[in-house]
Each structure stands twice: as structure tokens, then as C-alpha cells.
């Protein structure tokens, strides 16, 4: 992952979030830290399983 891309994404998010707040529009993200940490946890879990190289084809397991 490019550090420059990550910083640009963070800056874009900060500017967009500020714009949403300025216009009093609800953000399309959890407004509290626990909700945000839940999203980070989902991402970390996905990356851990991906790195471990384990997966199950659910459609195949269900015979679809």
C-alpha cells in the first residue's frame, strides 16, 4: 500500500467529513468511535483470514 495514497485518502475523508458537518448532513459512517472500531475490526479480520490463506466457497458448499 502506498503511503501517499493512504494520506490522500485520509485527507479526502477529513475534508468530506467537514463538508458534511458544515452542511448538517449525516455522514455515511458510524458517528461514534465504537461503530468505527467495528468497521476497523471487520477489515482486520478479513485481512487476517486472507493472509492465512483459508476460505470456504459458500455457494459450492450449499450446492448452488
Encode pLDDT of 13-51 as tens digits: 999 999 999 999 998 888 889 998 999 999 999 999 999
C-alpha span between 64 and 45 (Å, rounded): 26
Q: What is the pLDDT of residues 41-59, one digit of tens each?
A: 999 999 999 999 998 989 9
C-alpha span between 60 and 64 (Å, rounded): 6
Instruction: Report whether 14 contacts 21 (CB < 8 A).
Output: no
Per-chain mean pLDDT for the chain: 92
Write the CA distances from 50 to 10, 23, 41, 46, integer angstroms.
24, 39, 14, 6
Which candidate, 26, 48, 25, 29, places its Cα nearest to that of 37?
29
Amino acid at each position: 500500500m502506498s503511503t501517499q495514497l493512504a494520506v490522500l485518502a485520509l485527507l479526502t475523508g477529513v475534508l468530506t467529513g467537514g463538508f458534511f458537518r458544515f452542511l448538517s448532513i449525516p455522514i455515511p459512517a458510524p458517528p461514534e468511535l465504537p461503530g468505527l472500531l467495528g468497521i476497523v475490526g471487520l477489515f482486520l479480520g478479513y485481512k487476517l483470514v486472507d493472509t492465512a490463506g483459508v476460505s470456504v466457497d459458500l455457494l459450492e458448499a450449499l450446492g448452488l
